[in-house]
Structure 1
Amino acid sequence: MIGGFFRRNLKLKALSLALAILAWAYLTYGANPGVRAGITQQVEVPIVVRNLAAGLVAQPVAQTVTVIVSGDRGPFDAPASKEFVAYVDLHGLSTGTFSLVPRVVGPKDINVERVRPASIVVSVDRLVSRRLPVTVQYRGRPQGSATVGANVVPTTVLVRGPASQLSRIVIVAAEVPGDRLTVGFDALLAPAALDLNGHPLGEITISPNVVHVSVPKSVTTSQ
């Protein structure tokens, strides 16, 4: 009998519940602007760089900021990340490392209360390019253990990035597993700019981003 009571008029009960929720929202946020304006929310916003001089590249240490906001909005219209722009202004700055205050622009009906972190460390460097040869080597072998007999097309690539990163390049390598580089091997491989420890360097672009490696005859490894 109790179960029947709950099953009767389900549509009417659902409508009553929805109206009750809407009435609560209006009384709490619509009829009381003071309460509504006092609510704060957090929004994660990506950092962008503005006014970077030509020939330079910038890399903020933090990729996003947390923006604490308040405003005249209800719970069903919360501010979204895409409504904000967070940026650091590099006007007049040259190479070096700088601590800059992020600026945030958002909707007119939203107040920006705080931004975390309050400052962003940004590294600015010269953007340079170099043409370097591509070496085919076995993955996991020590640096300098290049293969002899493998054909690479093209034989050189253009690397581009911050000057501090390019100065760390020891080799541009197209790496293959040792048990695959046999006669008849033919593949497109992505070359990587490696440092002294054999680790790929970030912030480096390589053009073209693939090279054609083929093995028409047996190969050997040179040190």
Structure 2
Amino acid sequence: MPGFLTRNWRLKLLAVVLAIVSWAGVVLATNPPGTRSVSIPVPQPPAPNVSLPAGYLLTAPIPNLTVYITGTEEHLDAFSKSSLQVTVDYNAIRAIGNQVPATVRLPVKITNSDPNIDLDDPPASVMAAVDTSGSTSETVEVAVSHTPPPGYETGSLVATPNTVTATGPEHELIGIQVRTQQIDLSNQRANFDGTVALYPYDGAGRLLSDVNVTPATVNVAITVVGVDTTRTASVVLGPVIGAPAGDQVTMDGYTPVTVTLTGSQDLINGANLATVTTGSIDIAGQTGTVTYHVTIQAPTGITVSPDTVAVTITVTPLPTPTPAPTPAPTPTPT
């Protein structure tokens, strides 16, 4: 038996090596090794159990990390990113002190729990934009996108509460403005009252996504009033009533013959106000010439100046007709 093993041993060893290589070639051909990249999120506030040193905050989200993993194709296909755990040393932020805002390199540790996968030179740090946190009290600005329709204008604009607290990175709070959402009054002919959201902006009008406003909403009350305008109208006298029977009534004239009307544009323009009419003129019991002051009638919401008209009327009794003489009787012949 020993002679069998030792006879031509070089040839036999070569055959074994060739067999192993052939087997490995077949295995690798069906399940070759490879490398892939995976993107994994970096734990950061407000994720649970993740916090920064007191007084600091991130001014922008930390982007995902790209990690290269190696293994056989079968193991790469079966790999789950949940096998990778990222730990960030946020305490390293303390080293910058008050030199903020700043971009800080933070140490990172990536732990792999998959025994069939290896990490290929994993990242050892991430870059984070950091600032100190602060707060400021700001007056709310009511933002109106469209004014009321023609004939109306805004009066008072009141936000309740009118002062709110903005919290965020210190550098973002410089020159901050807190405004309501845009309020459209283009169809508003009555007062506006409603709850609207608040948004923080910087001095250039850029929305500050990393600043919080407390409270997040306010009640806004906007008075919408009609814009007064004027026009001239002719006066038409109302009916004369109570004239004595058998008397002659003479209209001697009235003044003014035109008046000025004042009211909101929609009332002035919407009504037929080329003329206005007085009330009726009661001359019952009148004799001679009398001047009456008659009120001018106008639609609700319209004022008239002057609001009365002086009307002069003369009442003249007609003469009583003379009765015809009674004819003498014709004598009877005898």
* TM-score interval for Structure 1 and Structure 2 normalised by the shorter chain: 0.5 to 0.7
Shift of 1:133: 1.5
Kindly indicate whether the alpha-carbon contact (under 8 Å) linking 1:132 and 1:172 is maintained by their aligned counterparts in 2. Answer: yes
Equivalent position SS for 1:93: helix
> Greater RCO between the two (CA within 8 Å, min separation 6)?
1
Which residue pairs with 1:187 in the alignment?
Answer: 194
Kindly indicate whether the alpha-carbon contact (under 8 Å) linking 1:133 and 1:156 is maintained by their aligned counterparts in 2. Answer: yes
1:88-112 Cα deviation digits (max 9, x unpaired): 3222423432234543223242322
Which shows bigger deviation, 207-216 or 81-90? 81-90
Equivalent position SS for 2:74: coil
Which residue pairs with 2:82 in the alignment?
Answer: 82
Which residue pairs with 1:65 in the alignment?
Answer: 65
Are 2:159 and 1:152 equivalent residues in the alignment?
Answer: yes
Cα distance in 1 for residues equivalent to 2:145 and 2:87: 40
The 3 A distance-change label for structure 1 pair 43 and 213 is same
1:106 partner amino acid? N
The 3 A distance-change label for structure 1 pair 139 and 217 is closer
Kindly indicate whether the alpha-carbon contact (under 8 Å) linking 2:38 and 2:81 is maintained by their aligned counterparts in 1. Answer: yes
Cα distance in 2 for residues equivalent to 1:33 and 1:101: 37
Are 2:216 and 1:209 equivalent residues in the alignment?
Answer: yes
**Superposition pairs of residues 1-150 of structure 1, within 5 angstroms:** 32=27, 38-49=33-44, 52-59=52-59, 62-71=62-71, 74=74, 77-94=77-94, 95=100, 96-109=102-115, 110-115=117-122, 120-139=126-145, 149-150=156-157
CA RMSD of aligned residues (A): 3.7
Cα distance in 2 for residues equivalent to 1:178 and 1:217: 9
Cα distance in 2 for residues equivalent to 1:56 and 1:121: 15
The 3 A distance-change label for structure 1 pair 60 and 131 is closer
Shift of 1:166: 1.0
Cα distance in 2 for residues equivalent to 1:114 and 1:81: 17
The 3 A distance-change label for structure 1 pair 73 and 200 is same
The 3 A distance-change label for structure 1 pair 157 and 39 is same
Which shows bigger deviation, 188-197 or 75-84? 75-84
Cα distance in 1 for residues equivalent to 2:210 and 2:36: 34
Shift of 1:149: 1.1
1:81 partner amino acid? K
2:53 partner amino acid? A
Equivalent position SS for 2:69: strand
Shift of 1:205: 0.9
1:48-79 Cα deviation digits (max 9, x unpaired): 24662111102456421111112467268532
Which residue pairs with 1:197 in the alignment?
Answer: 204
The 3 A distance-change label for structure 1 pair 217 and 61 is closer
Aligned residues: 185
The 3 A distance-change label for structure 1 pair 157 and 37 is farther
Cα distance in 2 for residues equivalent to 1:98 and 1:139: 41
Kindly indicate whether the alpha-carbon contact (under 8 Å) linking 2:83 and 2:114 is maintained by their aligned counterparts in 1. Answer: no
The 3 A distance-change label for structure 1 pair 76 and 125 is closer
Equivalent position SS for 1:160: strand
Cα distance in 2 for residues equivalent to 1:43 and 1:105: 14
Q: Which has the larger radius of gyration?
A: 2
Kindly indicate whether the alpha-carbon contact (under 8 Å) linking 2:33 and 2:73 is maintained by their aligned counterparts in 1. Answer: no
Cα distance in 2 for residues equivalent to 1:37 and 1:186: 70
Kindly indicate whether the alpha-carbon contact (under 8 Å) linking 2:87 and 2:108 is maintained by their aligned counterparts in 1. Answer: yes
Identity of aligned residues (%): 22
Equivalent position SS for 1:82: helix
Cα distance in 2 for residues equivalent to 1:197 and 1:130: 18
